[in-house]
Amino acid sequence: MNNLLLLILCFVAGVLLRRFRRMPDNAPATLNSFIIHVSLPALTLLYIHQLKLSGDVLLTGAMAWLVFGLSFVIFRWLGRRLALPRATTGALIVVGGLGNTSFFGLPMVEAFYGHDGLSTAIIADQLGSFFALSVLGITVAGIYSSGRPTALEIVKRITTFPPFISLMIALLLIPLEYADWFSVLLKRLGDTLAPLALLSVGLQLRLGHVAEHGRNLALGLGFKLVAAPLFVLLLYVPLLGAHGQTIQVTLFEAAMPPMITAAIVAAEHDLDPELSNLMVAVGLILSFFTLAAWWWLMRGI
C-alpha cells in the first residue's frame, strides 16, 4: 500500500508542479535522462542477479514478447486501415505493446498475491518487458521515427541503450556474489525510478488533450488493458494447459497499464509524445479497476 501511495503522490506532485509552473520546461527530459542512464541500469543489475531459473521462466518471460508481437501486428494493420500518421502508429505499437510490470507491477502483484508472487513478477519484468523494450521497443521506435534509421543505426541504438548494456552485464554477473555495499547502492539508485517516472508523467500530463486523442487512446488502452491479457490467458490456459500462481501472476502482469519507460523511448523518438503520455497516465488510473477485475477472473486458474 505504501508503494501505491508513493506512486499516486509523485504523479499528483508532477501535475501540481506543472500547473503552478514550479519546474522548468525541460524538467521531464532531464528526469527521463536520469531514469534511462541511472535508475533502470541499477535496477537491472540488482534484480537480474537475484533471478532463480526454473521451468516456468520460459512462459513468464515470453509473455511480454508475445504481447509486443501482437501489438505490432494489430496496430500496424490499424495504422494502414485508419490512415494514421507513422508517429502515431509507432507510439501505439511501442507504448501499447509494453506493460508497466516493474515499479507499478511489482507493488500491485505484492498487494494481490503477496510476497511469494514477486519472483514471478521480476522474471516477467526483467526477462520479459524490459528485455523486449531494449530490443523490440528500440527497434520499432527507430523504424517509425522521422529519421528512418538504417539497420546498422538501429543495432547501434540497441547496443548503446544503457539499460540494455546493464542487462547484458547483469546476466554475466549472475554467478558472482555482490558485496553488500554494492547491493545497497544499486537498490538506492533503483528506488529512484518509481517516483521520478511518475513525477515526469505528471509534469507532461495534458488532460485537455484527451478528447483530441480519444479514438487512438481508446485503441491503445483497449488493447493493453483488455485484449492483450485475454490473448495471453487463452493461449496459456486452454491451449497450453498452464495453471497455478505462477501463471496467475504472469497473466496479471500481462494486464498492467502501458510502461512509462516505453513512453519515454517513444518521446525521445518523437512518436506522438502527447498520445504516449496520455496512454500512461489514463492507463494507470483505469488499471486500478481493470487489474482488480482480472485478479477476480483468474482466481480459479
CATH of residue 116: 1.20.1530.20
Q: How many domains does the chain have?
A: 1
Domain-located, residue 265: yes
pLDDT at 52 over 70: no
| 6 belongs to a structural domain | no
Q: What are φ and ψ of residue 258, in 5° steps?
A: -55, 145
- Predicted confidence (pLDDT) per residue in 9-28, tens digit: 888 898 899 889 888 888 88
Is the model's pLDDT at 63 over the cut of 90? yes
pLDDT digit string, tens, across residues 215-273: 999 999 999 999 999 999 999 999 988 888 889 999 999 999 999 889 988 988 899 99
The predicted pLDDT at position 1 comes to 61
Query: For 79-89, what is the mean pLDDT?
Result: 95
Please tell me the predicted confidence (pLDDT) of residue 112: 87
For residue 5, tell me if it sits in a domain: no
Residue 17 in domain: no
Mean pLDDT of the chain: 87
21 within some domain: no
| Cα–Cα dist 50/61, whole Å | 15
13 falls within a domain: no
Query: How would residue 103 be classed by pLDDT, with cut points 50, 70 and 90?
Result: low
Segments forming the whole domain that contains residue 270: 26-297
Count of CB atoms situated within 10 Å of the CB of 211: 9
pLDDT of residue 80: 95
Q: Is 33 helix (H, G, I), strand (E, B) or coil?
A: helix
16 assigned to some structural domain: no
What is the rounded distance in angstroms from the CA atom of residue 167 to the CA atom of residue 130?
Answer: 9
pLDDT for res 268: 85
| 184-210 pLDDT tens trace | 999 999 888 778 877 887 887 766 667
Instruction: Classify residue 2: in a domain, yes or no.
Output: no
Give the per-residue pLDDT at 275.
93
From residue 207, how far is each of 95, 223, 232, 280 by CA, in Å?
18, 21, 31, 12
For residue 155, with 0-12 CB atoms within 10 Å meaning exposed, 13-18 middle and 19 or more buried, which class applies? middle
- The answer to pTM > 0.75 is yes
pLDDT in tens, 108-158: 887 888 867 877 887 898 788 988 998 899 889 988 987 666 778 778 877
Task: Give me the amino acid identity at 143.
Answer: I
pLDDT of residue 64 exceeding 80, the answer is yes
